[in-house]
Amino acid sequence: MQRKTPSGVVFNHGCEESDALRKLSTLAILVAATAFLAGARLPPQGPMPEPRPDAGQATNPTSPSSEAEPPAPEEVPAPQPKPDLKDPQAPVPHPPPAPQAAPSKPEPAEPMQGPPRPPGSPESSQPPEEAKPPGEQTLEEQNLTIEPESDAEHAECTAALQSLGVVFKDTPRIDDGNGCGIDKPIIVSEALPGIKLKPEATIRCPAALALARWMKDSVIPAASTALPEQGRITTVNQATSYMCRLRNGAGTGKVSEHARGNAIDIASFHFEKGEDVAVRSRREDPTLTGAFQRTVSAAGCLYFTTVLDPESDAAHETHFHLDVIERKGGYRYCH
């Protein structure tokens, strides 16, 4: 139906009504959709993504089993043909045994380097015996030699002995084998004038000179101070001078300085009066005799490079061990 306005514009009422209804329908649909979406809820847990085909090889850092070692893949047996069930007598086939690896051939040992063997000498199949450490070697195994002595130094030493009044004599070179011996030995019968050395001691001149100086400068003054009532010392009793052996008479170990003529063992001092002063443990001895022994023991380190007294060990409970071994840097061991 058309209507004409006073200005001459014609309105079509049917078209206007159709457009209005269409707009109302669209608006109603939007309102309904909004209400539906507002009342909808999401599920508590969404779907988990499926792992990729290679996801088994990757390590999941959030997985609680990621710290454990992955299990070793089990060897899948090869498929075997299915036995014919119709024949009950047919044997069940077993998988063939796994082939064994061929044993590896040992590599040929490289030949030992060295000079060629003489013709006709048999090749030894035994390896050479390893050398024993020095502390486990016998005297024979150490292959020692006698130390040579300078003629000039020996002459100077014997001149010093004569000036002190030591009674001694030269004796031929001693060689008992295995390094035992003295190149220029002397035999001392008096350590100082009027003081016998019993028995006579076969030693090197430097050891005799150290003994004489120790007696003159330390032992005699200490005895006159501590034991004046016993008079002067008349004899020094020695237990061992030269002797071919290892230290402390052991079967293995280092050679003793007795075997080289560098050592002497003093067992006791004999006086004009009274009893002998025997060397024994006197660390706790409160008497003047104990003071005398401790004094001469300590003074021994001024003349000898080694002094071992009864307090050292069980092997020296009854004597002083005195020697003149030369050590690097002038080191001395005194106990």
Q: pLDDT (tens digit, 9 = 90+) per residue, 292-307? A: 999 999 999 999 999 9
In the block, tokens 């220029």 appear at 184
pLDDT at 236 over 90: yes
Q: Which residue has the tokens 């001694």?
A: 168
Question: Cα dist. 151→43, 123, 176 in Å?
Answer: 115, 49, 21
Using CA atoms of 307, 313, 316, 321 in order, give the dihedral in degrees to the nearest 10. -10
- Give the CA distances from residue 55 to residues 52, 76, 254, 266, in Å, rounded to whole numbers and listed in that order: 5, 22, 73, 91
pLDDT cut 90: percent of the chain above it: 55
User: What residues contact 56, with CB distance under 8 A and at least 6 apart?
Assistant: none
Position 117 scores a pLDDT of 53
Average pLDDT over residues 306-313: 95
* 101: pLDDT strictly greater than 80: no
Residue where the block lists tokens 């061990």 = 321
Taking the whole predicted model, whether its pTM rises above 0.75 is answered as: no
Strand pairing class (320-323; 333-334): unpaired
Instruction: Give the confidence band of 190 by pLDDT, cuts at 50, 70, 90.
Output: very high
97-106, 140-149, 157-166: least confident range: 97-106
Res 150: pLDDT: 97
Is residue 201 within 8 A of residue 238, CB to CB? The reply is yes
* pLDDT over threshold 50, residue 67: no
**Rounded Cα distance, 112 and 116, in Å:** 10
Task: For residues 45-70, give the mean pLDDT.
Answer: 46
Least confident residue range of 12-26, 64-78, 112-126, 266-280: 64-78
Most confident of 53-57, 140-144, 306-310: 306-310
The reported pLDDT for the residue numbered 304 is: 98
Distance, CA of 83 to chain centre: 68
User: What pLDDT digit, counting tens, does each position of 5-48 carry?
Assistant: 444 444 455 555 567 677 777 777 776 666 555 555 555 555 56
Count CB-CB contacts under 10 A for residue 164.
Answer: 15
Residue 23: what pLDDT?
74
